Amino acid sequence: MNRRFTRLAALALKELKVVLLDRRARTTLVISPIIQLVLFGFATTLEVKAIDIGIVDRDGGRAAQAMVAALDGSPNVRRLRNYPSEAALDEGIARRQVIAGLILPQRLSADIAAGRGGEVLALLDGRRTNAAQIVGGYLGHIAQRAGSDLRPVVRGPPQPQTVTRHFFNPNLDYLWFTMPAMIAVITAVLVLSVSGQSVAREREFGTFDELMILPLRPYQILLGKIAPALLVGVVNCLIYAAAIPLLYGVPLTGSVGLLLLGVLVYTMALVGLGLMISTLASNQQQGFLGMFFVTVPMILLSGYASPVDNMPAWLQPLVAVNPTRHMIVISEGVFLKDLPADLVLKHLLPMLAAAAVTFTTASTLFRARRE
């Protein structure tokens, strides 16, 4: 037993040396996560900023001036463009000069002052669906606010008002959502890139036969090969847990230990999947392509890019077995909601099942290739 453990430890140490002594691998594993953490934090924004809005003002009254002033004073609006007609505004949207436009009709101010209300036409660039929806809601809010400010006071009981409070993310800061999720996304890319090429590298370098004659069983050889990937996952988790609150102000309200446990189980599931890919690949290029083929659907089906509830019903069972989805829930919960241990365990179990299935499959495939 001690001999087998010593041999297993020696194989794990050898795998660590192979990765750490490779200059390109060191750059990928150390510099790449830091660059990705910075770039994703500023590039993957869900906010709509620096937008250009077109205005066709046929009224010129107080209501129109109030709406234009509200838009001009908004920090999200870069420039207001005045157009002489609706046709000119249509052409401006078609040429991407503006993303949206407001048409303020004649007698708008008079109708609002008389209590008859008014209609404002908003034109949106449907080629940018998400941004257009956000801008449309923003324009509607400004129009309603300007109209209510100028509407004559009606005597009577005070009207009810809605006070909104946002739990867990009071200011709806997109970084509070994206940055915890990036732990799962970047870890998936790095761990699969390491484990997805481990066995394929042996074949490409001609050392696969030497691996076969080791006095270890197939599953023990694969256990020795998971050391670099586990190290990558755990170290990156610690870096992100420290960097995200410091760089982006995202609060870490929960337990770092639970987050680390989630990353450890998540990494095991990814390593099993990567070893399956690497066992089937004949060289590192095939391993990389296999890793890319698996990583993209995992991220798309994780709920990071789009809500899971918006996905078709036939896709949602795939989401339930996706380790990245469960890791995103754990990461966001630990950062923002102080997720308790029982709820963390609820998401650890599917990842443990995925790790067991993928590692068993990888061991079976490795044994078959060995024979």
- Give the C-alpha separation, 34 to 60, whole Å: 52
**For position 98, what pLDDT does the model report?**
93
Binned at pLDDT 50, 70 and 90, residue 164 comes out as confident
**pTM of structure:** 0.80
Which is nearest to 195 in space by CA: 280, 97, 108, 99? 280
Q: Is a pLDDT exceeding 90 seen at residue 258?
A: yes
Mean pLDDT value of segment 227-256 = 86
Q: Is a pLDDT exceeding 70 seen at residue 64?
A: yes
**For position 365, what pLDDT does the model report?**
82
**For position 44, what pLDDT does the model report?**
67
**For position 171, what pLDDT does the model report?**
80
Which range has the worst mean pLDDT, 140-144, 202-206, 301-305? 202-206
Mean pLDDT value of segment 167-195 = 86
Element (DSSP H or E) covering residue 360:
helix 341-370
- Give the C-alpha separation, 74 to 66, whole Å: 12
Which range has the worst mean pLDDT, 54-63, 210-219, 329-338, 357-366? 210-219
Q: Is a pLDDT exceeding 70 seen at residue 34?
A: yes
- Give the C-alpha separation, 277 to 188, whole Å: 14
**For position 153, what pLDDT does the model report?**
46
**For position 148, what pLDDT does the model report?**
66
**For position 157, what pLDDT does the model report?**
60
- Give the C-alpha separation, 224 to 197, whole Å: 14
How many residues would you count in the chain? 371
Q: Which domains does the chain have, with CATH numbers?
A: 27-44+174-370 (no CATH), 51-150 (3.40.1710.10)
Q: Is a pLDDT exceeding 60 seen at residue 161?
A: yes
Which range has the worst mean pLDDT, 39-43, 247-251, 322-326? 39-43
Mean pLDDT value of segment 252-266 = 92
Which range has the worst mean pLDDT, 11-15, 208-212, 250-254? 208-212
Which range has the worst mean pLDDT, 66-80, 85-99, 185-199, 251-265? 185-199
Q: Is a pLDDT exceeding 60 seen at residue 90?
A: yes
Q: Is a pLDDT exceeding 60 seen at residue 325?
A: yes
**For position 158, what pLDDT does the model report?**
60
Q: Is a pLDDT exceeding 80 seen at residue 138?
A: yes
Instruction: Provide, rounded to the nearest whole percent, the portion of the chain with pLDDT above 90.
Output: 26
Write 125-129 long-range contacts (CB < 8 A, 24+): 125/93, 125/96, 125/98, 125/99, 125/100, 128/99
User: Got the DSSP string for 92-140?
Assistant: HHHTTS-SEEEEE-TTHHHHHHTT-----EEEE-TTSHHHHHHHHHHHH
Q: Is a pLDDT exceeding 90 seen at residue 62?
A: no
Binned at pLDDT 50, 70 and 90, residue 85 comes out as very high
Mean pLDDT value of segment 196-217 = 71
Which is nearest to 20 in space by CA: 12, 355, 105? 12
**For position 16, what pLDDT does the model report?**
74
**For position 154, what pLDDT does the model report?**
47
Work out the mean pLDDT of the chain and round it to a whole number: 83
